[in-house]
Amino acid sequence: MIRNAGRRLRLGATPRTPVLPTLLAALLAAACSQDLGSGSLPDNDDAGRRILQVAYPREIDVLNAFTSQNLIDIELSMVEGLITADEHNRYIPVLAKEIPTEENGLIVRRDDGTVEMTWPLHENVRWHDGEPFTSADVCFTWRFVASPGSQVYNRDQYLGILDCATPDPHTVVFTWDGLYGYYDGIFEAVLPEHVLGGMTTEEIVNYRPYNRGPGLVGTGPFKFAQWKSGEYLRVVRNDDYWRGAQYPAIDEIVWAFIPDNNTRLNALKAGGYDYGQIEPTQVAQMRGREGYEVHLISSNSVMHFDMSVETERGRALFSDRSVRQALFHAIDRHAIADQLMEGTVEVADSPLNTTSPYYNPDVTVYEFDPDLARRMLDEAGWRVG
């Protein structure tokens, strides 16, 4: 099975937002449901163990899901959070029983403008070392992420939380400074207080046993086994997984680091991997290949054209709004999508995925119109040559 994360082609400014683990969501859904597409489970090894071989596009930097600057598919096979995103870009509860809303009574607006938000947690959840997962771990995670120097790329999204309370081991209550629409998209991981508690923020950021694996403790369906730098990372089945002994349905995942796109494609063609990510321009080579299915999946990856006005030269070129509009009218995005990218991506008019609850379908669309672009540039004082 092959997943393609390059589904959408976008042109426009793109703020950095958490990358949704679409690859992992589909993979783990299959692993936990015993459904790997229309094919069967991975072949058994000599010991009868079912091992999923994944051709992964890069080697990760650290296993702390908050401080990693890469995709966190690998980390989230071992570490769980209050929520995650499914393959349809929807946020769903994981360690939380449900996501708070005003409708279910778990979000309450106070007279002083603050917001009280209650997250009920699953009971009987255990860390890989057998220690119980509790609400204290969630508050510990918040304190670390919000601390100066945590190196968490989306730290600002947690700063609206004024307080974290633990009325009991399975309930977390946040007090927010006001309404915040993206509250259900953070806490995609939770850190173990009994392992990292007592350390300074800097010590947690640089704690090698957790960052490199032997000391990583999560609540997920797989546990750390081995990280061979430059080659692969192995995770093995968590036999004490809190959802039940039937999960996951496979015994091991080997994440092989194959950063070169052509090398990864050839490795898949050779049949050495069960699952991998290919480029949009490689789809035609894999469609119809025996033993594989090609799936185009939505992602938050974008191709965009930026016009900065922060520098003297940028202001000279792009400070005129009509010039910026003319350049967008001059770009044939459909030709890029259909020809250069071989029809495997879609043109989008927003940096947000169309499946996002925050997507606005009514944004201004700049259709390809080279004649209009020429007239607008002429009127702005631009001349050919």
Query: What are the tens digits of pLDDT across the range 61-90?
Result: 999 999 999 889 999 999 999 999 887 778
pLDDT at 49 over 70: yes
* Residue that has been written with the tokens 């173990």 in this structure: 192
Tens-digit pLDDT profile for residues 166-211: 999 999 999 999 999 999 999 999 999 999 999 999 999 999 999 9
Across 101-123, average pLDDT: 98
Q: What are phi and psi of 196, to 5 degrees?
A: -105, -10
Tell me what the pLDDT averaged over the chain comes to: 88
Half-sphere CA count of 149, side-chain side, radius 13 A: 7
pLDDT in tens, 93-106: 999 999 999 999 99
Cβ count near 19 (within 10 Å) = 17
Sheet holding 2-4, edge to edge: 222-228, 232-237, 252-257, 51-56, 275-277, 2-4, 294-296
pLDDT of residue 46: 65
What is the per-residue pLDDT for 348?
A: 84
Q: Would you state the pLDDT for residue 38?
A: 34
Q: CA distances (Å), 47 to each of 30, 52, 255, 342, in order?
A: 22, 14, 20, 43
The answer to whether 206 touches 199, Cβ cutoff 8 Å, is: no
Residues 329, 370: Cα–Cα separation, whole Å: 6
Q: Across residues 236-254, what is the average pLDDT?
A: 96
Note if the pTM is more than 0.85: no
Pair of tokens at residue 279: 């480029």
Residue 361, classified by CB atoms within 10 Å of its CB into exposed (0-12), middle (13-18) or buried (19+), is exposed
CA gyration radius, the chain: 23
pLDDT confidence bin for 44, thresholds 50/70/90 = low
**What mean pLDDT comes out for the span 142-170?**
97
